[in-house]
């Protein structure tokens, strides 16, 4: 038998290669692009979707395939995934995201080849994530997902909370603790301080989905408008994101019923320059999520020097420790009181909080160091390096 290649041929497999993947579009694409810059490009395989063609150029890897899909939206399948894995014959597959057809294909590949499989759940194993579409996940788990997870060579956790969720799910695999990263924009593109007669913007930038806590945020905003109208009138709430599952119409209706439609707007999904402009022109950022892995949107907000209002479920406790985040609840009454306190802070105080976040991501969330960790993980599983320190055994 020939010796293993010094550097493994890696396939990164995922359900979507466009912003419809949410944070995974960034946490998968950016390290893949940076690996390619080092001459170590993974081969990317994903399922085609409506935004793929508009975003294909944002992948700068040597080989990428968006495969056609069949079936209804919530059960999209690409039967060619297995065929392509067999043809490429990678040394290792890195699966990003679970509960979909790529998991099934990755599991069949692992059983057939006995080669290493890394799985990144991206927050999909925490308690909140498991409750969403629970019936589907119970069926998928019984059919193939639980066995797939149990037999993975390593699980990838974005933070300690996700590592705990993996263990709480009953998995005993090695866990590689590797966070997401962020690129810092140039200083000149940071938010401009407003003049006293301008309305400030509290920005939400994520998917429009129940797990993101948008409904309680709207109810809290209406309570704020009643209790402290002078504060509510000084701010506008911008809820940017694509509609994941058809929830937008109900939220727009709720906004009108609550009488806050003049203070709240839904601009839809913002990408590329529009996204950068929204971050650069906002005054603060909010994510009242019930469940997260490690949200890219918060790292990006910090990179722009924005103060962040977030729940504990966003799984970034270092933000609270660094003075870069303000803790919020997703109970509407509690959140309304917190908004009243935080939005009344001076511009200088909000700026201090945002700058603490920018300094933290510059020090701790560099993409180059994160890529080093991914490559070390792959080398270990390929049998050409020792187990990295960030990999823990059960």
Both tokens assigned to 346: 């001076």
**Token pair of 160, please?**
């300690």
- Are 41 and 377 within 8 A, CB to CB? no
Element (H, E) at 325: strand 325-327
H/E element, 201: strand 200-205
Structure confidence by residue, pLDDT tens digits, 45-55: 999 999 999 99
Residues of each domain in the chain carrying CATH 3.40.50.2000 = 10-181+366-392, 187-364
pLDDT reported for residue 262:
95
Could you tell me if 374 and 35 are in contact, meaning their C-beta atoms sit under 8 angstroms apart? yes
**CATH number of the domain located at residue range(s) 10-181+366-392 in this protein:** 3.40.50.2000
Contact status, residue 34 vs residue 368, Cβ threshold 8 Å? yes
In which order are the strands placed within the sheet that holds 284-287?
A: 264-268, 235-240, 200-205, 284-287, 308-310, 325-327
Left (φ > 0), alpha (ψ -120 to 50) or beta: where does 46 sit? beta
With CA atoms as reference, report the closest residue to 232 among 306, 139, 340: 340
The separation between the first and the last C-alpha atoms of the chain, rounded to the nearest angstrom, is: 32
Distance CA 118, CA 156 (A): 7
357 CB contacts (<8 Å, ≥6 apart)?
A: 301, 302, 305, 306, 307, 308, 319, 322, 324, 325
Residue 221, classed as helix, strand or coil, is helix
| Residue tagged 């909080």 (tokens) | 353
User: Residue 181: what pLDDT?
Assistant: 92
DSSP assigned state of 261: T
d(CA 329, CA 312): 8
Q: What does DSSP assign to residue 208?
A: B
Fold of the 187-364 domain: Rossmann fold (3.40.50)
What pLDDT score does 141 carry? 75
Strand 308-310 to strand 284-287: parallel, antiparallel, or no bridges (unpaired)? parallel
pLDDT of residue 133: 67
Q: In what order do the strands lie in the sheet with 391-392?
A: 63-67, 43-47, 10-14, 92-96, 117-120, 154-157, 175-177, 391-392
Contact 323, 317 (CB under 8 A): no
Q: What is the pLDDT, as a whole number, of residue 25?
A: 92
Among candidate residues 297, 250, 291, 278, the one with its CA nearest the CA of residue 128: 291
Asked if 151 contacts 172 with a C-beta cutoff of 8 angstroms, the reply is no
Task: Select from 234, 236, 240 the least CA-distant residue to 347.
Answer: 234
Residues 58-89: tens digit of each pLDDT: 999 999 999 999 988 767 889 999 999 999 99
Provide the pLDDT for residue 195: 47
Regions in the chain scoring below 70 on pLDDT: 1-5, 74, 128-129, 131-133, 187-197
Q: Are strands 391-392 and 175-177 parallel, antiparallel or unpaired?
A: antiparallel
In angstroms, what is the C-alpha Rg of the chain?
21
Check residue 4 and give its pLDDT: 60
Predicted pLDDT of residue 144: 87
Tokens 């009344």, residue located: 344
pTM over 0.75: yes
């Amino acid at each position: 038998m020939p010796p293993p290649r010094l550097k493994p041929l890696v396939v990164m497999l995922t359900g979507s290669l466009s912003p419809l993947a949410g944070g995974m579009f960034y946490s998968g694409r950016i390290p893949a692009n940076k690996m390619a810059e080092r001459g170590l490009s993974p081969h990317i395989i994903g399922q085609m979707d409506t935004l793929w063609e508009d975003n294909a150029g944002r992948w700068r890897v040597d080989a990428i395939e968006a495969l056609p899909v069949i079936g209804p939206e919530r059960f999209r399948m690409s039967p060619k995934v297995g065929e392509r894995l067999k043809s490429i014959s990678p040394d290792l597959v890195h699966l990003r995201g679970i509960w979909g057809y790529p998991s099934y294909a990755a599991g069949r590949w692992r059983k057939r080849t006995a080669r290493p499989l890394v799985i990144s759940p991206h927050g999909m194993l925490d308690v909140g994530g498991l409750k969403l579409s629970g019936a589907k996940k119970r069926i998928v788990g019984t059919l193939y997902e639980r066995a797939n997870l149990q037999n993975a060579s390593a699980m990838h956790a974005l933070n300690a909370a996700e590592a705990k969720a993996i263990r709480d799910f009953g998995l005993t695999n090695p866990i590689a603790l590797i966070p997401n990263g962020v690129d810092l924009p140039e200083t000149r593109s940071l938010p401009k301080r407003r003049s006293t007669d301008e309305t400030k913007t509290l920005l939400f930038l994520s998917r429009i989905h129940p797990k993101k806590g948008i409904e309680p945020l709207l109810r809290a905003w209406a309570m704020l408008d009643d209790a402290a109208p002078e504060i509510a009138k000084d701010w506008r709430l911008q809820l940017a994101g694509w509609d994941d599952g058809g929830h937008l119409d109900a939220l727009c209706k709720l906004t009108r019923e609550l009488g806050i439609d003049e203070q709240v707007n839904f601009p839809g999904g913002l990408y590329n320059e529009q996204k950068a402009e929204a971050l650069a022109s906002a005054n603060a950022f909010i994510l009242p999520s019930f469940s997260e892995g490690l949200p890219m949107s918060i790292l990006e907000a910090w990179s722009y020097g924005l103060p962040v209002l977030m729940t504990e479920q966003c799984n970034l406790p270092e933000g609270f420790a660094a003075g870069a985040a303000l803790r919020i609840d997703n109970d509407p009454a509690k959140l309304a009181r917190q908004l009243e306190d935080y939005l009344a802070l001076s511009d200088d105080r909000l700026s201090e909080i945002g700058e603490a976040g920018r300094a933290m991501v510059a020090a701790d969330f560099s993409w180059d160091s994160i890529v080093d960790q991914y490559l070390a993980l792959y080398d270990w599983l390929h049998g050409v390096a020792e187990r990295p320190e960030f990999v823990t055994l059960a």
